[in-house]
Amino acid sequence: MQKIFKEVNSLDQRCYKEFKLSEDLLMENAANSMANFILNKFDKGSKILIVSGNGNNGADGIALARTLFGDFNIELYIPFGTKTNMSKIQLERANKIGIKPVDMISDNYNIVVECLFGSGFNKPISDEVLNIISKLNNLKAYKIACDFPVIPFSADTTITMGALKNGLFLDYMKDFTGEIIVGNLGISRQIYEINTNYFLLESCDMKLPFRTKLDSHKGSYGHLAVIVGDKKGAGIIACEAGFTFGAGLVTAITKATNLPLHIMQSEEIPKNTTALALGMGLGEQLEDRFINNDLPKIIDADMFYQTSIIKILSQSNIVLTPHPKEFCSLLKICDLEDITIEELQNNRFKYVNKFCEQYPNVVLLLKGANVLIGHNEKIFINTFGTAKLSFGGSGDVLSGLIGSLLAQQYTPLESAITASLAHTLASINYALNDYSMKPQDLIDEIRKL
């Protein structure tokens, strides 16, 4: 996994003070990082439009123009002039080698580089900027964002400087960042980065439940019990996913219903149960007998609208998997916040942190375009999700995966991380069109991981 930071200004300041690396030197290396990407990907002579703002992000763009000038056909557009000392210095340097900024955007570029504001920008976007971004988006060119794309600039690649930033992984950013690359500032990330509580998950963080012990039996791999509610399909999907992900035994807690032959059925929690999944398609108020026990639990869906969930939050070995609407309900029940879904989505890290501070023993998995997994003071981000997963039953599959790992004695955090990665990576592997996936298709892809 990779480190992520709320802000990097303090990391830059550390470079200036501890390592005697000047602002100018970091800026030159930022420009070189973008230049190297372009040199390795595109033919020399390609026509490049660089759009620079009046601050230091714009200065990065001006330095990039100077670095590529001569090897590429460069047009530098600076619609708001230069304001900071470094942007003025960089423009003077560019002028010295013959670069003269253009006063308009044409329509025949191979590459567009947006260097307007960067990650520190926190003001409303003006109509003039939105008009520029609209023109850039309409260009048939490969689009690169410097450090942080200005919404709604749709980048194919974002080259973020020095380290990854939290803001790049908000749900609404996923349609604008494209591939995210960290630009080197003249110092290794091992040195530039410091301790953090935010982490980007990678595929290698997935620890699948492979069976390496030969002397084993079905009881060696746990027993998952799934509470099947009014909407029985949700619980049955979770049962299927749990069985597929390694649980030795899976029991549906339900009255008479048609079940796959390998799924057992009972109206009571079996005595040898090692994990419990509840909430999927529940519909009704859950009986206390399903709550008041010490079993590891995966909690989903309808449980986030029931006040009885407060009893569960005081227990150990709990994983919660709400989507945004459900999380807003949970925050209100816990008397932490009363917010809209929009407020949550604009501040996902803030509210996950707030919940985890209140319930440090619980693992929270907040669903979304990018999944946030919070535990105690740390947040882990899974960016592998795709639009293929936007179907009814997707979350039920995830619940079954987590429940299966809990039953196999994974910790709640390990269960959430590995199940979430398996869930999303399996969706990427689905080869048919992106609107056709069903729960069983996803389960079938998980079998192939």
Note the pLDDT of residue 121: 72
**Who's near 282: CB < 8 A, 6+ residues apart?**
227, 229, 230, 231, 301, 302, 303
Mean pLDDT of 188-217: 96
Distances (CA, A) of 363 to 255, 262, 306, 357: 30, 30, 19, 11
Report the pLDDT averaged over residues 353-368: 97
Tell me the three state secondary structure of residue 351: helix
- Taking residues 194-203, report their average pLDDT: 98
Q: Which H helix or E strand runs over 239?
A: helix 232-244
Q: Which two tokens stand for residue 169?
A: 């992984």
pLDDT tens track for 115-145: 999 877 777 889 999 999 999 999 999 999 9
Coil, strand, or helix at residue 272?
coil
Contacts 24+ apart (CB under 8 A), 37-42: 37/144, 37/157, 37/159, 37/181, 38/68, 38/72, 38/111, 38/144, 39/68, 39/71, 41/142, 42/72, 42/110, 42/111, 42/142
- Domains in the chain, ordered, with CATH? 2-196 (3.40.50.10260), 203-447 (3.40.1190.20)
pLDDT of residue 258: 85
C-alpha triplet 237, 242, 245: angle, nearest 5°:
125
| pLDDT above 70 coverage of the chain, percent | 100
What is the pLDDT at residue 74? 97
pLDDT digits (tens, 9 = 90+) for 386-441: 999 999 999 999 999 999 999 999 999 999 999 999 999 999 999 999 999 999 99
Q: For 286-329, what is each residue's pLDDT tens digit?
A: 888 889 899 999 999 999 999 999 999 999 999 999 999 999 99
Separation between Cα atoms, residue 37 and residue 136, nearest integer Å = 20
Per the structure block, which two tokens stand in for 102?
Answer: 């253009």
Q: What's the average model confidence in pLDDT over 69-77? A: 97
Q: pTM of the entire structure? A: 0.95
58 pLDDT exceeds 80? yes
Query: How confident is the model at residue 286, as a pLDDT?
Result: 83
pLDDT at 288: 81
- Please say whether the beta carbons of 73 and 99 come within 8 A: no
> Amino acid letter at 61?
G
CB–CB of 264/242 below 8 Å?
no
**Residue 165, strand partner residues:** 5
pLDDT at residue 442 greater than cutoff 80: yes
pLDDT tens digits for range 22-56? 999 999 999 999 999 999 999 999 999 999 999 99
pLDDT, tens digit, 9 for 90 and up, residues 207-260: 999 999 899 999 999 999 999 988 999 999 999 999 999 999 999 999 877 899
Q: Which two tokens stand for residue 353?
A: 């942190």
